């Protein structure tokens, strides 16, 4: 997907809030901040910052790419609502980027051909979002589909494996670096490579991929 216009990418699925205005691999503007529960306070400032740094306006953007989950319920809602607001105001299409696939797409630049690895991010204390990938032909393929598994099963699945994500602190983890969410740049890069068929102006039908239903907690009597 390349119409000569930059992609504005938003990443809010975990603790880091990131924004990238991506023209190509040689020209992009990216800012991020790691501050718990502050995505709603900083995301528009980051958008303004990348646009100002590039000397461009929102109307010169080609599309908006947003990290669509799974991940933090609150973070995903903030990212999606921000994308919809920006897109509606400038009549731009949105691409909902699958977060774990963007992570795998980023990891393929650091792992060798044939490597299998797991991405596991916490749902809660007992469960994790889970997927297994393999690097193939300078890309990634699914080895196990995205699902939610319990801690015990994660321990078994992860034995002697490369594990990335915030549930990666199992004893047998072989990963040499920590990685819990894709950068906003790679949200844009995934969109550039795979997003052509996902462009949509139907904002009302766009929702994050929570994988797990909300649990609304009320006061106990």
- Which of 11, 10, 6, 5 has its CA nearest to residue 22? 6
| pLDDT of the residue at 176 | 60
For the cut 80, the answer to whether the pLDDT of residue 218 exceeds it is no
Tell me the whole-structure pTM to 2 decimals: 0.92
In angstroms, rounded to a whole number, what is the distance separating the alpha carbons of residues 123 and 164? Answer: 15
| 201: helix, strand or coil | coil
Per-residue H/E/C for 167-194: CCCCCCCCCCCCCCCCCHHHHHHHHHHH
| pLDDT of the residue at 173 | 61
In angstroms, rounded to a whole number, what is the distance separating the alpha carbons of residues 17 and 186? Answer: 13
Distances 17 to 20, 67, 211 between C-alpha atoms, Å: 11, 11, 21
What is 111-164's CATH topology?
Answer: Nucleotidyltransferase; domain 5 (3.30.420)
Considering the chain, what is the average pLDDT of its residues? 91
Task: Give the residue carrying structure tokens 């996902």.
Answer: 198
For the cut 60, the answer to whether the pLDDT of residue 2 exceeds it is no
Domain borders along the chain are 7-98+182-205, 111-164
| pLDDT of the residue at 172 | 54
What is 7-98+182-205's CATH topology?
Answer: Nucleotidyltransferase; domain 5 (3.30.420)
Q: Mean pLDDT throughout 194-217? A: 85
- Kindly report, residue by residue over 132-143, the tens digit of the pLDDT: 999 999 999 999
């Amino acid at each position: 997907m390349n119409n000569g216009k930059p992609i504005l990418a938003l990443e809010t699925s975990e603790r880091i809030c990131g924004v990238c205005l991506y023209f190509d691999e040689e020209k992009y503007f990216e800012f991020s901040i790691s501050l718990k529960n502050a995505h709603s306070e900083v995301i528009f400032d980051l958008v303004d910052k990348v646009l100002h740094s590039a000397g461009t306006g929102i109307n010169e953007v080609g599309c908006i790419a947003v990290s669509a989950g799974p991940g933090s319920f609150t973070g995903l809602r903030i990212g999606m609502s921000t994308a919809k607001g920006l897109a509606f105001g400038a009549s731009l299409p949105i691409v909902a980027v699958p977060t774990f696939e963007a992570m795998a797409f980023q990891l393929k630049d650091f792992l060798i051909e044939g490597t299998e690895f797991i991405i596991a991010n916490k749902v809660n204390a007992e469960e994790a979002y889970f997927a297994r990938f393999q690097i193939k032909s300078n890309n990634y393929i699914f080895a196990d589909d995205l699902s939610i598994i319990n801690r015990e099963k994660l321990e078994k699945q992860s034995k002697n494996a490369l594990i990335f994500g915030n549930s990666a602190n199992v004893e047998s983890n072989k990963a040499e670096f920590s990685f819990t969410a894709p950068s906003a740049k790679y949200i844009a890069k995934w969109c550039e490579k795979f997003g052509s068929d996902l462009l949509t102006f139907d904002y009302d039908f766009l929702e994050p991929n929570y994988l797990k239903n909300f649990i609304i907690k009320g006061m106990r009597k």
